Amino acid sequence: RTLLRPRTPLEELDAAIERGEIEPYFQPIFDLRTGDIFGAELLARWIRPDGKVISPARFIELAEETGRIQPMTWHLLRTALADLRSLLRGDAHFKLSINISPRHFVCEGFVDELRGIVREAGVGARQITLELTEREAFEDPARAAAVVAEVRRLGFKVAIDDVGIGHSGLSQIQNLRADILKVDKFFIDSVNRDESAVIMIGMLVRLAEEMKMTIVAEGIEAREQVETLIECGVGSGQGYVVSPPVPAKSFLELVANRTGRDAAGD
């Protein structure tokens, strides 16, 4: 075996997919005021046989470029729905967010496959949020907007991810008509140091209100940020202040222990 040529990154990725080494981790999404965990974002991790955890920054792009992202996304969603089954079925308000690559989102058959998987798991479409990044512009914005309208008509929620750092300015927000804006960590980082970050977030809060969207602040690391974000009018958040992304078992324990406690006050 050692005499075989080294495998290419793609061969390694295929082998990892084949062996089921790409797994969902979960990061809580919580109410900033109460600390209640009302949702989770699914974040992919590659768990090597030796236990080493590889970050998605190392393999998502390759998966996107080679079409592996599609089977990978469906595998992650199926696994996550099974992992969080009791939570999703026991609490109709609990939401699971999943990152969808823009190219995959506009693919033929995307909506049917999504519906099939969610229905098979016995989970309501309302409990699933699709996160679409603003980092990449859609090649065909009209088609993207049509798919957003279709999935929303079926009950799914749509979030625009990484808001504020993409190249599309505000046009993505106007075009897609999503339910949720996820404000990028970039603004959250400086919220207690730089008045302009507070102004920007305030502006996004007003924009969201006018367009009947809600806001989730990403990458919150400190209690003081929670306080300032509440003052800005932000309702929900995500970040190391509550928990990094963790495996399903730890996530379920966290929810059981944490629900009802105050994120800003313990």
Q: Which residues sit at the interface with ligand C2E, rule CB under 6 A?
A: 27, 43-44, 55-57, 60, 69, 73, 76, 99, 101, 133, 161-162, 219-221, 238-240, 244-245
Token reading at 16: 């990892």
Q: Which residues between 190 and 249 bind Ca ion (CB under 5 A)?
A: 218
User: Residue 56 Cβ, how far from ligand C2E at the closest point, in Å?
Assistant: 4
Told to check if 70 binds Ca ion by CB under 5 A, we report no
Which residues make beta-bridge pairs with 29?
Answer: 39
161 binds Ca ion (CB under 5 A): yes
> Which x/- pattern, by CB under 5 A, does the window 93-112 give for Ca ion?
------x-------------
The partner in contact with residue 55, picked from ligand C2E, Ca ion, none with C-beta cut-offs of 5 to 8 angstroms by kind, is: ligand C2E
For the record, the structure tokens of 68 come out as: 């592996």
Tokens of 209: 């209100």
Q: Which is nearer to ligand C2E, 92 or 96 (CB)?
A: 96
Cα–Cα distance, 249 to 226 (Å, whole number): 26
Distance between CA atoms of residues 263 and 183, nearest Å = 19
**Which has the closest alpha carbon to 217: 246, 238, 191, 186?**
238
Q: How far apart are CA 248 and CA 150, in angstroms?
A: 30
Q: Which does 202 bind (CB under 5 to 8 A by kind): ligand C2E, Ca ion, none?
A: none
- Tell me the two tokens of residue 159: 């979030």
Six-digit token pair at 167?
């190249």
The partner in contact with residue 245, picked from Ca ion, ligand C2E, none with C-beta cut-offs of 5 to 8 angstroms by kind, is ligand C2E
252 burial via Cβ count (<10 Å: 0-12, 13-18, 19+): middle
From the CB of 135, what's the least distance to ligand C2E, in Å?
8
Residue 203 identity (one-letter amino acid): M
Binding mask 113-152 for Ca ion (x = CB under 5 A): ------------------x---------------------
> Residue 87 Cβ, how far from ligand C2E at the closest point, in Å?
19
Length of the chain: 266
Q: How far, in Å, CA of 213 to CA of 252, rounded?
A: 28
Among 162, 204, 208, 216, binds Ca ion (CB under 5 A): 162
Q: Which is nearer to ligand C2E, 155 or 244 (CB)?
A: 244
Classify residue 180 by burial, with Cβ atoms within 10 Å: 0-12, 13-18, 19+: buried
Q: Based on CB atoms, which residue is closest to Ca ion, 61 or 120?
A: 61
Nearest distance in Å: CB 139, ligand C2E: 16
Task: Name the phi and psi angles at 244, rounded to 5.
Answer: -75, 175
Residues lying near Ca ion in the complex (CB under 5 A): 99, 131, 161-162, 218
